[in-house]
Amino acid sequence: MYRILVLLHLFLFFRPNGNVYAVPPSIDSAIIHKKWDAQWITAPGISLKDFQVLHLRKTFQLTAVDQEFLVHVSADNRYRLYVNGEEVGKGPARGDLNNWFFDTYDLAPYLKQGENVVAAVIWNFAEFAPMAQITNKTAFILQGNSKRESFLSTGADWKVYVNQAYETPKGFAVYTTVGPNEVVDGRLYPFAWQNLGYDDQSWLQPRLLGRGTPKGKTSGWDWALTPRTIPQLDYKKEYFVHLLDHEGKKAKTNIEKGFKAMVIPAYTKVKILLDRGILTTAYPEIVVSKGKGSLIKLAYAEALVDAQGVKGNRDIVIGKQMPDMLQDTYVADGADARTFQPLWLRTFRYVELAIETKDDPLVLEDVYSYFSAYPFQRTAVFESEDRLLEEIWQVGWRTTRLCAGELYYDCPYYEQLQYIGDTRVQALISLNLTTDDRLVKAAIAHFKMSTMPNGLTQSRYPSSEYQIIPGFSLFWIAMVHDYMMYRDDAAYSAEQVQTITHILKWFEDNTQPNGMLGQMDYWNFVDWSFGPWKAELPIGGTPPGTFDGHSSVLSLLYVLGLEKAVDIFHALGQKDKAAYYANVSAKMKSSIYALCWDPTKGLLADSPERNSFSQHANALATLVGMFTEKQQRGVMNKVMNTDGTVLEASLYFKFYVFQAVKKAGLADNYLDFLAPWENMLELGLTTFAETPEPTRSDCHAWSAHPLVDFMTTVCGIEPMDFGYKKVKVQPHLGRLSTVKGKAIHPSGAIPFDLKRKGRKGIEGTIELPIGITGVFFWENTQIELSPGFNTIKL
């Protein structure tokens, strides 16, 4: 377990007068405003752009240990920091070269009188690095916070070792962007390198690359250093649940309480299948003794597959095999109690150990893992009499946890990339189920960092490979709007206005004389239900009208962005901008309706040709207020009860469809639309998938949006205005007779307990935080809610 200083974890946000971070007073101001004394260091005689694993150490004496001993640490690509053999933390959080994060630690709890050692392992995965990892060159830096700690700053008195035990990766068997397989020869590994007493006399003097440079404090830089804005990730030991033989034919052996050591005889090949019971993101770890030269391979899977590559029920393993995916390899050196853990986390439910011994038997002492994810604490509570909803609540939360690390991940197994479309949903889950908005703000900042010269954001960021999905830039505007609804933070919100304006300008420039968007560049992904990816053009998931112009779906996404922006401009007092873009929005809605409304079908078509219809177009039109109240009710009834003539949204875009259902006054039907989530549970998934079967990813946070809906639609608790200054409570119980739990508000929790009373009545209690008022809506009745305890009886 880490004992990490959390000084940087609170109130570490942008100031309104520019991109300068507010800094806790215990961090010396020179760390932020002046060039560091510490040098970036690396190994001499190596390529700084190629795959490398380096170890670094400094041994020193202390006559006394101060109550506080602060240091600031970073590396390229990544590091793990140790003091006297104990791991202190990992990092840095991912950013880009203009926003290179450093971590702050208090080393005092780890230090002692006498001899001490601070050590780090750093690595550069080079061309095999995760796509979310931007990189410059292999290097490490540690800066003491003040004169008291400055003797520890990296420089020529540190020592460095090039680890030859790691084999250079050879590529990927299947497309992933999470980083490479690791191959480690224990016979070449410098075990105990991080401990006191280790003999480092043969280690090298480091190569100095230049002093650390804070962001914005010089005309040129390698890495613009800026404080980390999020906490360290969880790191909690967990055990596998079951052990099976490699064919899954034997009865399961329960190993939840610990793994029983086993001896693998000499000249033996064996496969051991381990089941965690649920999907996890973790650092797997094995402990082995003896067995010199034995080859141990660890393969990881979300699910096993049959001979045709079909996953089927995730609980069934008989007749299935591991997919050809990430696989780490470790060669035993023959000593006792050797531990192997990969440098980067893995995603798995199943782990297969394939062991091949040589001259000596191998003892497999233990197998376990360390769960790692963003340290979200779910403080919202949702309860009802429906067990299905409880299971969706729990599995959705697990999905959310596994898709949040230093970034919001789209999926942890294949990509670990932060996409705006996914992240908007994830941020809303964070704001509704937790009190922690740090990752939300970090994501908004990341996407702002990614802005291109044409005004659009990149679709995912950080990323070493450019990708633009224009509609995702509009969802970034919606993210800012969401944040403003849930947090009273006008200064931070005002910083986003310039980027919002640039995005809207790009779309305005792409508007045709007929009032709709024209032929669209880049990848105009909306939803996978619009078709799979095709290599010749980026048309996967793109609606009709994208390439020849005049897509109602894309035009309506622009209108959605306009409507959100108008609200933001109004809230910030920018009335002229609000009026201008409100006029742009009104004109575009009028054009879309005139060109795409089909009066015979009573639906909005996907393009002026009126030969295809989708839930997407009609849901978006409903959300932006294109229809009258009566009309939108009829439209949403039709698209939700389609005979197959209307294209159905997949799991991701159902979030927007369900919002439109709510706006159309049909939210009491919401619980009837959850069959896709029930189907996933019946298939043994322990997280929610990217798409309905067959799915690539078993864990995709964009499919966890029912968590938002349970709080804001079923329980009906959500902001009534910007800054959550007033609470709206409008429950839609559907088939439920009772809901109870606790909603989240910046000023405190909102406990509630509501029950149906007869066919159309409701009774119960709602408690609002001090100073917060609200309105309760039921049928055609409104009740003003006061701070404190409120009794409902209608």
DSSP track, 118-184: EEEEEEE-GGGS-TT-----SEEEEEESSTTTGGGSSSTTSEEEE-TTBPPP---SS---S----EE
- The token pair at 459 is 């679709």
In a domain, 787, yes or no: yes
559 residue type, one letter? V
Pair (209, 241) in one structural domain: no
CA-wise closest residue to 592 among 617, 616, 628: 617
Q: Do residues 98 and 224 lie in contact, with contact meaning Cβ atoms separated by under 8 Å?
A: yes
Pair (197, 268) in one structural domain: no
3-class state of residue 593 by DSSP: helix
In a domain, 436, yes or no: no
294 residue type, one letter? S
Q: What is the DSSP letter of 364?
A: E
**2: pLDDT strictly greater than 60:** no
**CA separation for the pair 301, 279 (Å, rounded):** 9
- CA 298 vs CA 174, 201, 327, 340, 545: distances in Å: 16, 34, 5, 11, 47
**534 C-beta neighbours (distance < 10 Å), count:** 10
In a domain, 390, yes or no: no
**217 C-beta neighbours (distance < 10 Å), count:** 14
CA-wise closest residue to 314 among 682, 681, 683, 690: 683
Give the pLDDT confidence of 633-671 residue by residue, as tens digits.
Answer: 999 999 999 788 999 999 999 999 999 999 999 999 999
Is residue 150 packed enough to be buried (19+ CB in 10 Å), middle (13-18) or exposed (0-12)? middle
Better pLDDT: 156 or 17: 156
In a domain, 449, yes or no: no
**CA separation for the pair 138, 29 (Å, rounded):** 27
**CA separation for the pair 678, 744 (Å, rounded):** 26
Mean pLDDT of 302-319: 94
Q: How high is the pLDDT of residue 5?
A: 34
**292 C-beta neighbours (distance < 10 Å), count:** 16
Q: How high is the pLDDT of residue 170?
A: 81
Q: CA dihedral in degrees (652, 656, 661, 665; nearest 10)?
A: 150
**195 C-beta neighbours (distance < 10 Å), count:** 14
**452 C-beta neighbours (distance < 10 Å), count:** 14
Lowest mean pLDDT among 14-23, 24-33, 405-414, 510-519: 14-23
Q: What is the DSSP letter of 460?
A: B
In a domain, 299, yes or no: yes
> Beta 773-778 vs 726-729: how paired, if at all?
parallel
3-class state of residue 666 by DSSP: coil
Q: Return the HEC string of 167-212.
A: CCCCCCCCCCCCCCCCEEEHHHCCCCCCCCCCCCCCCECCEEEEEC
Pair (85, 215) in one structural domain: yes
CA-wise closest residue to 280 among 402, 440, 367: 402
Pair (148, 251) in one structural domain: no
CATH of the domain at 133: 2.60.120.260
Pair (53, 138) in one structural domain: yes
Q: How high is the pLDDT of residue 21?
A: 34
Q: Which of 309, 337, 371 is the last residue of a domain?
A: 371
Q: Which of 355, 371, 387 is the last residue of a domain?
A: 371
403: left (phi over 0), alpha (psi -120 to 50) or beta: alpha
b/e burial code for range 655-667 (CB count within 10 A of at least 16 → b): bbbbbbbbbbebb
pLDDT bin (cut points 50, 70, 90) of residue 26 is confident
Q: Do residues 196 and 84 lie in contact, with contact meaning Cβ atoms separated by under 8 Å?
A: yes
**CA separation for the pair 81, 560 (Å, rounded):** 46
When divided into structural domains, the chain yields a total of: 3
In a domain, 513, yes or no: no
Pair (254, 328) in one structural domain: yes
CA 224 to chain centre: 24
Give me the domain span that covers residue 197: 7-165+190-227
Q: How high is the pLDDT of residue 644?
A: 84
In 619-760, DSSP assigns E strands to: 717-719, 726-729, 738-745, 748-757
Pair (196, 52) in one structural domain: yes
Q: How many CA atoms lie less than 13 Å away from 187 in the CB half-sphere?
A: 9
Pair (274, 356) in one structural domain: yes
Give the sign of the dihedral formed by CA 339, CA 343, CA 349, CA 352.
Answer: negative
CA-wise closest residue to 593 among 564, 635, 561, 563: 635
**9: pLDDT strictly greater than 80:** no
Radius of gyration over every alpha carbon of the chain, rounded to an integer in angstroms: 28
Lowest mean pLDDT among 173-182, 308-317, 334-343, 783-792: 173-182
Q: How high is the pLDDT of residue 172?
A: 64
Cis geometry, peptide bond prior to residue 180 (ω within 30 degrees of 0): no
3-class state of residue 629 by DSSP: helix
Mean pLDDT of 370-395: 98
Pair (121, 147) in one structural domain: yes
**46: pLDDT strictly greater than 90:** yes
**CA separation for the pair 182, 145 (Å, rounded):** 35
Q: Which of 345, 371, 397 is the last residue of a domain?
A: 371
DSSP track, 306-338: -TTS----TT--TT-B--S--EEEEE--S-SSE
Q: Give the CA diameter of the chain.
A: 87
Mean pLDDT of 694-698: 95
% pLDDT > 70, the chain: 95
Mean pLDDT of 759-764: 93
**CA separation for the pair 3, 290 (Å, rounded):** 33
H helix count then E strand count, the chain: 14, 36
pLDDT bin (cut points 50, 70, 90) of residue 148 is very high
% pLDDT > 90, the chain: 88
pTM of the model as a whole: 0.94
Looking at the chain, how many residues does it have? Answer: 794
Pair (317, 208) in one structural domain: no
In a domain, 298, yes or no: yes
Q: Do residues 715 and 741 lie in contact, with contact meaning Cβ atoms separated by under 8 Å?
A: yes
In a domain, 248, yes or no: yes
Angle among Cα 722, 725, 730 to the nearest 5 degrees reads 90
754 residue type, one letter? L
Pair (154, 297) in one structural domain: no
- The token pair at 755 is 């029950």
3-class state of residue 563 by DSSP: helix
Strand partners, 415: none
Pair (745, 767) in one structural domain: yes
Q: How high is the pLDDT of residue 15?
A: 25
Q: What is the mean pLDDT of the chain?
A: 93
